[in-house]
Amino acid sequence: MRRTRDLTSEQPTTANSASDGAAPEGRMPSGKSMQEGRMPEKHALDGVTSDGHSVMSDGTLAATENPTCASGKKGPSRAKELGARILVFTVQAFAVWQAVALLLLAFVPDFVYDVARVLNVTNIPSYPTLLSFFLLTFLSLGLLRRQRAALWLSVAMWQISVIVTLAVATVLSHINSGSSERFRPHGWHYLVSVAFALFVVASAFWMRSAFPARLAPGALRRACLVIVLGFATSAGFAFFALETAGFGRLPFHHAVNWSISVALGLPSDQRPFRSPIEGPYWVETASGVISVATLVLAIAVFLRAAPQNAQRDYDDELAVRRLLVVGGSADSLGYFATRDDRRTVFSPDGKAALSFRVVFGVCLAAGDPIGDRQSWPQAIAKWLEHARSYGWVPGVISASEDGARAYRAQGLRAIVLGDEAVIDVASFRLGSPELRAVRKAIAGPTNAGYRVQVRRQSEIPADELAELVEIADVWRRGGPERGFSMASGRIGDPRDGRTVIVTAHTAEGHVCGLLSFVPWGRRDVSLDLMRRSPAAVSGVTELMVTQLIANADRLGITQISLNFAMFRESFARGERIGASPLEKLNRKVLVFASRWWQLHSLYQSNEKYLPQWRPRLLCYGSTAQLTQVLIAVGQAEGFVPELPRTFQRRSRASQLNLPETAAKLAEAVRKQEEELFTPTVPERRLSEQQRIRREKLARLIDAGIDPYPASVPRSHALSDVRDDSGAVSVVGRVVRVRDHGGVLFADLREGGVELQVMFTADRPEAGLALWRETVDPGDLVSVAGTACRSRSGELSVHAESWSMAAKCLTPPPDKHRGLRDAEVRVRQRHMDLALGGEARRRLLARSAAVRAIRGRLAEHGFVEVETPMLNRIHGGANARPFSTHINAYDLDLTLRIAPELYLKRLCVGGFEKIFEIGKNFRNEGADSTHNPEFTALEAYEAHGDYTTMRRLAEDLIRTAAWAVHGKAVAPAPGGGVVSLDGEWPVVSVHAAVSRAVGADVTPDTPADELQRLCRERGIRYAASMTAGDLVSELYEELVEGSTTAPTFYTDFPVETSPLTRRHRDDPRLAERWDLVAFGMELGTAYTELTDPVDQRQRLTEQSLRAAAGDPEAMEVDEEFLSALEFGMPPTGGLGLGIDRIAMFLLGASIRETLAFPFVRPEARPAR
């Protein structure tokens, strides 16, 4: 099957082309090998395919009543298909009976004859003879291939002959009505056999459509020729044997008549070849054997399947290559559908195709269908119909799991062959410990000065490419080429310009290794050919593979398909610790067999790259056909020899191999790929308004006006224009136009301010006509004119000229109604802001609040700092992080969930008052109060504690409220406002929970009592939760959501606060508070834990939770702990959610306070 010999020993292999009828060439099955480590899959159940065909349990394809086949013809009904299967089974059963009876005849002849006498009522030969056995065997094969000639031949020989005999006998009986020899039926069995014959003849005529397979052209002529020559040979042998046996003195015509009668099996004493000679018995026997062999051979020739030229059509070649690119081939073997010895069938819609080759009477497909998966069933059905119309047995080699499912849906069965090794470039790390064997292998050629070139075939000069083709053939060392399913059968062909050629060169520049990889879809590659010089240093193949991976980014490669490992799973299971004795025995047997076939070595040579193993399967029609399919696979892959060329059918050379056709096709392929790989701009679907605006855009350009200039006149902002401003130039977005004929009014908006401009007929130089033709609401325009008042007294600019600042191509919503749908407002945030409504006011208010908080902290002497966003260890809070990877250092990183640990290290470094306002990221749920990406303030003050931080929090939030509202208030959810003046309530967590549950809850309350309180209120909890965890759950469910006015809840259980100092009065509690208002947490503060021993213990407990599967638990950060060990002063720490403060002060959801909240991607319309 694929393409190489042992990678470990690095013996030369390849995949060059083979002519029709020769053993196919390419990758060998010991390369991409077959696996028998798994049991065959369960047979496909009866069902109905997508094109109306019934899938039978034995793997044959029937059809429902009046189905339409892939070709458009009506197929057989389910009943006819069932009748055909019964007929095939019956003839097969009689062939088996003949074989068994021949063996039993010498031991229990009476039993054999009794059974044969009963079976004889079917008119099928039941008495055991070699002639009957061979006759039934060949006819059963013909019926199994659904050849109509086999149907009629069997009916004619066994059933119609009985009816004709009865008819003739009846006529003769009437003629000789007075004779004593009048015909009389001999018992009931004769009547039954006649009735059976009539039934079978009628049934055969009725179900003839279930036998569509045609014969080879000239089959009857060749069969007649075989009969004539064979019987002539038999008669000639009898004649000359008679002469040598001492009968030479008899009359010549008597000897001839006797020889002919013996050859034909007729009595020599009856006409038409009457002879008085009684020849030797051995001559009669030998002549009879020759005649029997002649008859058997004639039937075999007559029923031989129709031939198929392995010739690809020019247009088919281009169509297949187009599907490989456009169809997004997910199969690494897809490109091998372009082999020159394969034919292709297409689905009726042309969106999928399947390639095949006829080998040993098997229509052998390889890999998955190519093209659109939705059209796979139609392509497979067309292929099956095509195979059965020629009497071929369907078979598939090296199908992927997805492909095997598609084949099974069409009635085939599947068994696992082995696994394909695929390297994922993104996850391949040559420096990892697991790839030590690869690094060791490439050390040899690297130290020897070998260098590797990785190029597309189209980049290689013609003379160098010709040299590579030549040395690839030389390094093959005359061995047979192998491969069909996983080899292209060619190298250096001008059609394969996208093939990647990897060459290894010695220090002197001589080529010593060669790999070729065919395209796999648009980006990836699949191994085709592998060669190395016998003089090359060991490890050159590994060096070429690793260099290909190193160049993968440059070539746009993401996956590399390597070899196929036969029995891979059996090897893997046998190597596992705890493998069963049977699994170990299987492995030992396979290792022993590897002395002659490359099984274990290929598995090892691929496993060293740590690839992804992807199963490959063999698909076949029925169990009776499996042996034939396996022989065909062996012949196709080059492991089972075919008949000598003398006995093979002649096949015309492919027209694609003719020089003039090949050159023309190569150019067509080049142009097609250039077209397919040239990025095309998809055509957008535009609304009528969008089309009209683009037409106006074109008019502006035609008029010599730049619709998107670098600058436009602007002397005043709209808000600065006054009655006495005189000549002004203003810029704004057109939000409304009122055209009264002689005068036109337009409202411009800028920064939430609107100003009217007017065009009058007495100023034609103002460009009113062009305005009417090209300006729409939403356009940004610059208007120059004089400030004045309109007749209605509205401040206006009397236009003298105008220019386009930016043509709006998307119609804005109505000025007064705006964007009403909340989802549309979020997705079209820019438009919502441009309309100058509530969204703009909230954004400005948020900005004012943040600016005020930052300024207030500066007044208190805090220094603003910035800490890293990318963290190697996630910490600072209990939350699920976002993960990413940095290629430069090959490290997995997380986006920070909090800057706390870095800020504390700055405190250790001597910064007494610091703060940071920045983004944090938590990979958790999103709702009206949570966003995965959020802005937070963290501030730390040396020699402070959670009490001083509480006062600072109050001060900052009041300052923000003054910046937003001009006073210390916040809008209440139900209407009105809440005053933020005065001291805010401070309540301990246990007191708040006690009030909520109506029972006394203290740090002494046991866990089982807290569990009971949770159960009574329907609060879910885990059995492993501590008392502190349960208190926290009760707080979050019962207290936090019901809080209205800003309240500080203090003194949380210590186990819920791993970075907080224990309470100075009760070590079971932590000096921490949460600020809650209107049912949401606004911030939190700690008296920071500065004890490095206690901190290490708590982080270790957190890491144990993480190891147990808690995705939110923190990890041990040794750098942070090392800083604490250096000594950190007593410190108070504060964290406030900037988004939450904006929500609190504006009475809005989190999405409404963000400039661009995250939204799910919108489904793109069809283009």
94-108, 361-375, 815-829, 1020-1034 — which is least confidently predicted?
Answer: 815-829
Asked whether the predicted pLDDT for residue 837 surpasses 80, the reply is: no
Residue 663 or 1097, more confident: 1097
What is the pLDDT at residue 702?
A: 93
Answer positive or negative: Cα dihedral of 1003, 1009, 1011, 1012.
Answer: negative
Please identify which residue in the block is written with the tokens 């590399």.
Answer: 560
- pLDDT band for position 745 (cuts 50, 70, 90): very high
Q: Give ranges for CATH 2.40.50.140 in the chain.
A: 688-812
Interval 531-556 mean pLDDT: 91
What is the pLDDT at residue 38?
A: 34
Tens digits of residue pLDDT in 236-261: 887 787 777 665 556 676 777 777 77
Q: Beta 362-366 vs 393-399: how paired, if at all?
A: parallel
Cβ burial, residue 69 (10 Å; 0-12/13-18/19+)? buried
Pair 216, 304: CB distance under 8 Å? yes
What is the pLDDT at residue 581?
A: 74
Pair 750, 718: CB distance under 8 Å? yes
What is the pLDDT at residue 1015?
A: 93
Asked whether the predicted pLDDT for residue 949 surpasses 60, the reply is: yes
63-67, 241-245, 713-717 — which is least confidently predicted?
Answer: 63-67
For residue 854, which of 776, 757, 956 has the smallest C-alpha distance? 956
CA distance 994 to 1002: 8
What is the pLDDT at residue 1154?
A: 87
For residue 26, which of 704, 711, 487 has the smallest C-alpha distance? 487
Asked whether the predicted pLDDT for residue 616 surpasses 80, the reply is: yes
What is the pLDDT at residue 187?
A: 56
Most confidently modeled range among 264-268, 281-285, 808-812, 1124-1128: 1124-1128
Interval 1024-1032 mean pLDDT: 92
What is the pLDDT at residue 63?
A: 34
Q: Give ranges for CATH 3.30.930.10 in the chain.
A: 840-985+1045-1153
CA distance 539 to 531: 13
Q: What is the CATH code of the structural domain delimited by 688-812?
A: 2.40.50.140
Asked whether the predicted pLDDT for residue 805 surpasses 50, the reply is: yes
Question: CA of 258: how far to CAs of 249, 266, 591, in Å?
Answer: 14, 9, 63
- pLDDT band for position 10 (cuts 50, 70, 90): very low
Neighbours of 217 (CB within 10 A): 10
For residue 665, which of 345, 320, 332, 371 has the smallest C-alpha distance? 320
Asked whether the predicted pLDDT for residue 396 surpasses 90, the reply is: yes
For residue 730, which of 782, 776, 664 has the smallest C-alpha distance? 782
Asked whether the predicted pLDDT for residue 651 surpasses 70, the reply is: no
SS3 content of the chain, % helix, strand, coil (to 5): 45, 20, 40
Q: Which CATH number fits domain 840-985+1045-1153: 2.10.109.10, 1.20.210.10, 3.40.50.80, 3.30.930.10?
A: 3.30.930.10
Interval 334-341 mean pLDDT: 86
CA distance 311 to 97: 42
- pLDDT band for position 886 (cuts 50, 70, 90): confident
Q: Beta 559-566 vs 524-532: how paired, if at all?
A: parallel
What is the pLDDT at residue 307?
A: 54
Q: Which CATH superfamily is domain 420-614 in?
A: Gcn5-related N-acetyltransferase (GNAT) (3.40.630.30)
- Please list, in sequence order, all residues whose beta carbon lies within 8 angstroms of the beta carbon of residue 592, skipping any fewer than 6 positions away: none
Interval 753-769 mean pLDDT: 89
15-24, 374-383, 654-663, 955-964 — which is least confidently predicted?
Answer: 15-24
Interval 153-171 mean pLDDT: 75
What is the pLDDT at residue 1023?
A: 87
Neighbours of 1020 (CB within 10 A): 8
What is the pLDDT at residue 923?
A: 87
Chain center to CA of 46: 27
- pLDDT band for position 979 (cuts 50, 70, 90): very high
Q: Per the annotation, does 1074 bind a ligand? A: yes
Share of the chain above pLDDT 90, in %: 38
What is the pLDDT at residue 592?
A: 67
What is the pLDDT at residue 1012?
A: 93
Q: Per the annotation, does 1051 bind a ligand? A: no
Pair 55, 409: CB distance under 8 Å? yes
Asked whether the predicted pLDDT for residue 624 surpasses 80, the reply is: no
Asked whether the predicted pLDDT for residue 229 surpasses 80, the reply is: yes
Interval 413-440 mean pLDDT: 89
Interval 57-70 mean pLDDT: 37
- Show the tokens assigned to 100: 């068994």
- Please list, in sequence order, all residues whose beta carbon lies within 8 angstroms of the beta carbon of residue 615, skipping any fewer than 6 positions away: 35, 400, 401, 416, 418, 419, 420
Asked whether the predicted pLDDT for residue 895 surpasses 90, the reply is: yes
Interval 64-80 mean pLDDT: 54
- Show the tokens assigned to 1135: 């964290």
- Show the tokens assigned to 916: 């940071």
- pLDDT band for position 11 (cuts 50, 70, 90): very low
Neighbours of 868 (CB within 10 A): 10
Tens digits of residue pLDDT in 133-148: 777 777 777 777 677 7
Interval 700-711 mean pLDDT: 94
Q: Give ranges for CATH 3.40.630.30 in the chain.
A: 420-614
Asked whether the predicted pLDDT for residue 67 surpasses 70, the reply is: no
What is the pLDDT at residue 656?
A: 53
Cβ burial, residue 642 (10 Å; 0-12/13-18/19+)? middle
Tens digits of residue pLDDT in 655-705: 555 666 778 888 888 888 888 887 777 788 888 999 999 999 999 999 999
Chain length of the chain:
1167
Q: Mean of the per-residue pLDDT values for the chain?
A: 80
Interval 480-487 mean pLDDT: 64
Residue 1111 or 1044, more confident: 1044
Which SS3 state, helix, strand or coil, does residue 96 take? helix
What is the pLDDT at residue 52?
A: 35
CA distance 227 to 291: 9
